[in-house]
């Protein structure tokens, strides 16, 4: 099979892609109880499965969770880890942290855990010979594909990351070579924040793109500042 000619997207198609990117949100409390249709879920999983992967290793699996009992176990694991996380922040940040809703595990009709099988492709994988973690990076691309497709379908997604790895492994029966990469809550939403919720609620502002783009090399002055910060106790 030969490469096929490539045509640019039409303006409407291009705008739809950027619209999905710019209006994607991390959903915690806007889920409705309306079930996610099986055909929609299959489209989302198909989009995730078409993510780029180094060496075409496709290291992902998708655990689809609808069981209230499993969700309850996952929620309990989150609560334990979240209590520990709250104590890690400074005293002036803790009240705001505690006021934030950081998950929608029980509210979302569907939860999905995207995992990375670190044995996929064998011992030597094209493109992974010098960076062992390329399989993990590839799996994150699958999460992003699913998230953008979900936005186009009117499905909200929330990524829950505050867990002990051992808890997820135990609850989801993950074998040793399989790593949980993204625990996602999915469901229909009727409303979304116009800006990221953590920005709306005063936790963090979006950084200025102009401060994040460098030409050719990392600036010496910034490199020195980072080195000094790293040396501090």
9 inside domain: no
Q: Look up the pTM and report it.
A: 0.94
CATH number of residue 80's parent domain: 3.40.109.10
Beta sheet of 110-117, edge-to-edge order: 60-65, 110-117, 178-188, 155-160
pLDDT tens-digit profile of 121-165? 999 999 999 999 999 999 999 999 999 999 999 999 999 999 999
Domain that holds residue 81: 26-202
218 inside domain: no
213 inside domain: no
Q: What is the pLDDT of residue 233?
A: 42
Q: What is the pLDDT of residue 229?
A: 66
* Distances in whole angstroms, Cα of residue 231 to Cα of each of 66, 214, 228: 46, 24, 5
12 inside domain: no
pLDDT at 216 over 50: yes
Q: What DSSP line would sit under 102-143, residue for residue?
A: ---TTTSSEEEEEEEETTTT-SS-TT-SS-TTHHHHHHHHHH
223 inside domain: no
Q: Report how many domains make up the chain.
A: 1
116 inside domain: yes
Q: Which of 179, 207, 158 is nearest to 63 (CA)?
A: 179
79 inside domain: yes
41 inside domain: yes
């Amino acid at each position: 099979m030969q490469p096929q000619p490539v045509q640019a997207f039409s303006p409407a198609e291009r705008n739809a892609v950027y619209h999905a990117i710019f209006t994607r949100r991390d959903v915690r409390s806007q889920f409705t109880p309306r079930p996610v249709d099986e055909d929609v879920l299959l489209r989302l999983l198909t989009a995730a499965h078409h993510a780029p992967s180094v060496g075409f290793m496709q290291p992902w699996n998708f655990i689809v969770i609808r069981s209230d009992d499993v969700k309850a176990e996952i929620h309990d694991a989150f609560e334990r880890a979240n209590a520990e996380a709250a104590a890690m922040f400074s005293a002036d940040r803790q009240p705001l942290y505690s006021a934030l809703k950081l998950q929608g595990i029980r509210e979302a009709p569907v939860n999905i855990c995207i995992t990375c099988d670190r044995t996929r492709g064998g011992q030597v994988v094209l493109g992974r010979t010098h960076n062992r973690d390329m399989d993990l990076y590839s799996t994150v691309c699958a999460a992003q594909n699913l998230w953008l497709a979900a936005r186009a379908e009117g499905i909200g997604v929330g990524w829950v990351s505050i867990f002990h790895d051992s808890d997820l492994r135990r609850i989801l029966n993950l074998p040793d070579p399989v790593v949980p990469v993204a625990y996602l809550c999915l469901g229909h939403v009727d409303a979304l924040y116009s800006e990221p919720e953590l920005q709306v609620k005063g936790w963090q502002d979006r950084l200025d793109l102009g401060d994040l783009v460098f030409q050719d090399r990392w600036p010496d002055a910034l490199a020195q500042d980072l080195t000094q910060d790293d040396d501090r106790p």
